[in-house]
């Protein structure tokens, strides 16, 4: 298959590109290198060193004898997206090219606007390019489980649920309640995609997943192939940040009570699921919602697990420190187990590695780069607050 990855330079985009070329697919990628600049803007850097896009491509050629086509450009430029789709005629477009940090979106009006405009415009461009070129392309859009919030019912995986509206039984879209401007942009993305599907019959997978953690996939066979790994207060997701804190014996910083529950998935399992969804597209004209998470844990459970593994790998147990939660989010009595049916049907719902083994690997990968982590140590405390 030929796959166009929007956001190929990112944490997931690069790891997916490696998996797809190793599975014999042709990969074309677009990226405006925005995350590199935005991470630098908050004074941070990837904790693992990453090569420039040109050097990454050379490293892939050397490692796997495969060529990735890269276009440096902005997904909010409609003509760029349309031209790339027309020229390369992909079977699938994977859309990762969004501003993906909730804290970044909450900094101020400029960052909120950037998030909403960047994310919605890029999604609209993909929709219109397919509609205007009249192409049969599977759009795999990366959303988030955070679109739903924490409703008092089990979140169904279907985009629609049965409901009684004004006395009439009908189908309504699953209600959503996001917790940041970033998450709201994902909600609007989902609605726009659903509308494009109803209106023009676009074939869509709306993929909702919780936080991803991990330094490696089985394709990252050398440090030259590392994908980015962010650990600061703005860009780092929680397990990645805890592991970075552990390697420099910094306290593991839990925001709030630590009773918040999330559905975590390793980078390896995320990439396996994405590749399976690309290789098993929905029926033409179908809108397929997919939920993905492997282990539901509280932040306290995660911190304890990382402390245990740190003792075994690093020889010490970092402290655990609770800081006031900068976010506005529910912390207790959470009913949380979103339904998942599509991926188990594809037969790929096994855990590749238990969380504990994954964390062992992460600490081993990070240890030689402890000096890079040390440089951003001051950024572990949250600077962006949802309310003053
Ligand atoms: N990492 C996670 O834990 C996680 C969890 C759920 C969903 N997601 C979603 O998955 C997607 C990828 O996440 P990630 O962690 O790889 O993020 P990332 O920031 O590392 O990657 C996104 C890539 O898109 C690029 N990009 C952004 N805007 C662009 C534009 N207008 N034009 C071209 N390129 C652009 C960035 O430069 C970056 O390389 C995002 O949409 C994110 O919201 C991530």
Q: What share of the chain is helix, strand, coil (3-state, %, to 5)?
A: 45, 20, 40
**What is the C-alpha to C-alpha distance for residues 188 and 378, in angstroms, rounded to an integer?**
34
Q: Does the active-site annotation cover 115?
A: no
Say how many CA atoms lie within 13 Å of 79 toward its Cβ.
0
In sequence order, what DSSP letters do the residues of 58-78 get, joined into one string? HHHHHHHS---EEEE--TT-H
Q: What is the pLDDT along the chain (388 residues), one digit of tens a residue?
A: 999 999 999 999 999 999 999 999 999 999 999 999 999 999 999 999 999 999 999 999 999 999 999 999 999 999 999 999 999 999 999 999 999 999 999 999 999 999 999 999 999 999 999 999 999 999 999 999 999 999 888 999 999 998 888 899 989 999 999 999 999 999 999 999 999 999 999 999 999 999 999 999 999 999 999 999 999 999 999 999 999 999 999 999 999 999 999 999 999 999 999 999 999 999 999 999 999 999 999 999 999 999 999 999 999 999 999 999 999 999 987 888 899 999 999 887 676 788 999 999 999 999 999 999 999 999 999 999 999 7
Residues with C-beta less than 6 Å from any ligand 1 atom: 7, 9-13, 30-35, 74-76, 96-98, 100, 118, 122, 142, 144, 209, 211-212, 228, 237
Going by C-alpha positions, the residue among 22, 10, 3 that lies closest to residue 61 is 22
Q: CA-CA distances (angstroms) from residue 90 to 3, 54, 109, 229, 335?
A: 5, 22, 36, 28, 40
What's the start-to-end Cα distance of the chain, in Å? Answer: 49
Q: What is the pLDDT of residue 349?
A: 66
Query: Which residues partner with 144 through β-bridges?
Result: 209
Structural contact between residues 371 and 313, judged by C-beta atoms closer than 8 angstroms: no
One DSSP character per residue, 307-369 reads HHHHHHHHSS---EEEE---S----SS--------HHHHTT--S-SS-HHHHHHHHHHHHGGG
| Domains annotated on the chain, with CATH | 2-379 (3.40.50.720)
Dihedral sign computed on CA atoms, order 147, 144, 350, 335: negative
Paired strand residues for 162 = 171
User: Among candidates 112, 94, 116, which has minimal Cα distance to 103?
Assistant: 112
Cα separation, 31 vs 239, whole angstroms: 26
Choosing from 30, 37, 96, 125 the residue with most ligand 1 atoms within 8 A of its CB, the one to mutate for a pocket test is: 96
If you measure from the C-alpha of residue 236 to the centroid of ligand 1, how many angstroms do you get, rounded to a whole number? 12
The catalytically annotated residue of 104, 141, 186, 213 is 186
């Amino acid at each position: 298959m030929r796959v166009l990855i929007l956001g190929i330079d990112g944490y997931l985009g690069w790891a997916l590109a490696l998996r797809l070329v190793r599975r014999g697919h042709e990969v074309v990628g677009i990226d405006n290198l925005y995350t590199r600049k935005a991470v630098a803007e908050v004074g941070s850097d990837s904790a693992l060193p990453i090569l420039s896009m040109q050097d990454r491509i050379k490293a892939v050629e050397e490692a796997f004898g495969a060529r990735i086509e890269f276009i440096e450009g902005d997904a909010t430029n409609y003509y760029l997206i349309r031209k790339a789709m027309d020229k390369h005629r992909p079977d699938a477009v994977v859309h990762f090219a969004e501003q993906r940090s909730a804290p970044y979106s909450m900094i101020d009006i400029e960052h909120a606007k950037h998030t909403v405009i960047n994310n919605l415009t890029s999604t609209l461009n993909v929709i219109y390019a397919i509609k205007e070129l009249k192409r049969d392309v599977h759009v795999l859009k990366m959303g988030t489980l955070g679109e739903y919030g924490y409703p008092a019912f089990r979140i169904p995986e279907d985009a629609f649920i049965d409901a009684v509206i004004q006395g009439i039984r009908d189908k309504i879209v699953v209600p959503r309640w996001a917790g940041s401007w970033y998450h709201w942009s994902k909600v609007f993305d989902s609605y726009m995609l659903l509308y494009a599907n109803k209106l023009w019959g676009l074939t869509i997978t709306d993929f909702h997943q919780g936080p991803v953690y991990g330094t490696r996939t089985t394709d990252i066979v050398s440090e030259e192939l590392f994908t980015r790994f962010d650990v600061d207060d703005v860009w780092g997701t929680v397990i990645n940040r805890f592991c970075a804190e552990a390697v420099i014996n910094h306290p593991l910083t839990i925001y709030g009570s630590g009773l918040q529950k999330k559905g975590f998935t390793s980078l390896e399992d995320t990439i396996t699921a994405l590749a399976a969804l690309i290789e098993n597209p929905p029926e033409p004209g179908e809108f397929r919602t997919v939920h993905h998470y492997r282990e539901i844990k509280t932040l306290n459970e995660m911190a304890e697990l990382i402390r245990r593994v740190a003792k075994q790998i690093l020889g010490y147990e970092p402290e655990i420190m609770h800081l006031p939660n900068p976010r506005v989010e529910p912390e207790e009595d959470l009913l949380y187990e979103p339904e998942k049916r599509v991926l188990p049907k594809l037969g790929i719902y096994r855990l590749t590695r238990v969380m504990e083994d994954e964390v062992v690997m992460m600490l081993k990968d990070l240890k030689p780069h402890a000096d890079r982590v040390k440089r951003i140590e001051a950024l572990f405390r949250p600077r962006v607050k949802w309310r003053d």
